[in-house]
Structure 1
């Protein structure tokens, strides 16, 4: 059934901290223990593994928002240390362990089991056409253990939304690095201060900002124009719209129950991360 856009967006807010626990210290340590060199080796090995041993060019295209050359510093090097199948297992174990540590007693609660079941129903129900990373995840077995199942379901829903977000950016002519710049400016930050792109060479980032200025999305002072703000809003609205099919398998009461069940779990993760 159709659900209000506000609830679809609320699901994004709740699944994000649960799914992205995979990028935290415990999973990173698990990858370092098998021979990766740094955080980003583990990031690319774990997140790209459902695609198989895909070359850097493919991973770059699917992930969309990494600057040229960033993926190639890690892929295919990581596939000389770990196979995609091994990376999937390391990522799942590390992520479930991290989630279990952060949420404490909630990990053993019937409410978590119910949330994991509802989230999994949604996570395996959406169409895969045009959703490359989501389709790769859908091909993996769903964990039986509840905490691992919840993390896996949140990851399915996050990557389903992420594939849609990429489509929305492409439809609005916004490149990956441009998307980071627009996000930074919408938060009141200068592009050169934003964590995901601040490491880029100044000239490279200046060129991205200049391109957005030429299109009327950034003003002379380096802030968002009204057109820039509206472009971001349209992208986000379309992203939520494209995420909605995953939740149609749930009726209104079930979606409300899922939201209520995820709220204390997401809050516990966010509180522990502060």
Structure 2
């Protein structure tokens, strides 16, 4: 049987991901003066941490090619402050959700779901969760759609911090994690967009490292050991995410799943891919 963390991942993550999948958040950040996608991405996602060095952002985000973060941080803070970036990101995400959900955005279900998710989000352990801890320091919005997105973001980044810990525990580096995810999706690593910054030679070095460990075969696909390891990483990620939801009763979880499903179906249907 699927864990609660695993079940709710499929409903929580799409709400958060309007930050990356919709136009409105980018437009709100571009209005501050950001040009191009990556400067506003690194600014908006790292803003809860304040003006930390690129090395800190790179370590926390884990899977970017060397130099990608430093090309945008700390220069992004010459465009706008972390506080301005956080406010713009929230405005954009709320506008995106309202556009997607239509009349559902003002239904009582949004407020109910936001309250239950916020209860879980503030029940999660903070220790070792740097990005999540930064988000915990931000004032919680009152408006229901904003609260829903903020709660989903807290839970997503809590899970993300745990996923990074899971990868580190299993000895999987950032670029290796992208290769394993591509293979999980039955996609050749060269076709996986987040690996674009690597040259063919650099990518082959990453794949060779996985091949030497018996995780990838000669053709570049999973070995049974590789697929088993990827499954174990996801299982450990679920295990590390689980404490956030221990405060919820079985009835609250069931109601949350029922209430969120129609909202998330609309969000997923609106994705640009």
Structure 1 position 5, deviation (Å): 4.2
The TM-score, its normalising length taken from structure 1, stands at 0.97
The Cα shift of 1:272 comes to 1.6
Equivalent residue for 2:88, pick from 79, 87, 90: 90
Structure 1 outlier segments of 4+, above 3 Å: none
1:123 is matched with which residue? 121
Do the aligned partners of 1:178 and 1:212 also contact (CA within 8 Å) in 2? yes
Shift of 1:200: 1.9
> 1:259, 1:78 → 2: CA distance?
38
TM-score (norm 2): 0.97
Q: Report the Cα distance in structure 2 between the residues aligned to 1:198 and 1:57, rounded to whole angstroms.
A: 21
2:145 matched to which residue of 1? 147
Structure 2 alignment gaps of length 5 or more: none
Structure 1 stretch 188-197 or stretch 55-64: which is displaced more? 188-197
Q: In the alignment, which residue of structure 2 is the partner of 1:161?
A: 159
Please state if 1:187 is matched with 2:199: no
1:103 corresponds, among 94, 98, 101, to: 101
**Match for 1:31 among 29, 32, 43?**
29
Equivalent-residue separation in structure 2 for 1:261 and 1:53 (angstroms): 38
Aligned mates of 1:247, 1:138 — CA distance in 2? 16
d(CA) in 1 for partners of 2:187, 2:145 = 36
Alignment match, 1:137: 135
Q: Distance in 2 between matches of 1:73 and 1:102?
A: 33
1:251 aligns with 2:249: yes
Aligned length: 271
Instruction: Tell me the CA shift for residue 156 of structure 1.
Output: 0.3
Shift of 1:199: 3.6
Q: Distance in 2 between matches of 1:88 and 1:120?
A: 18
Which runs of no fewer than 5 residues in structure 1 stay unpaired? none
Do the aligned partners of 2:100 and 2:270 also contact (CA within 8 Å) in 1?
yes
How far 1:198 sits from its partner (Å)?
Answer: 2.8
CA deviation profile, 1:132-183 (whole Å, cap 9, x unmatched): 0000001111100000000000000000000000000000000111011011
Where does 1:164-179 land on structure 2 (aligned, <5 Å)?
A: 164-179=162-177
Select the residue among 68, 71, 75 that pairs with 2:69.
71
| Cα distance between partner residues in 2 of 1:41 and 1:251 | 41
Q: Deviations over 1:5-63 (max 9, x none)?
A: 43321111111110010112111111111111111111111100001001110000001
Determine the C-alpha separation between the residues in 2 that align with 1:202 and 1:223. Answer: 16
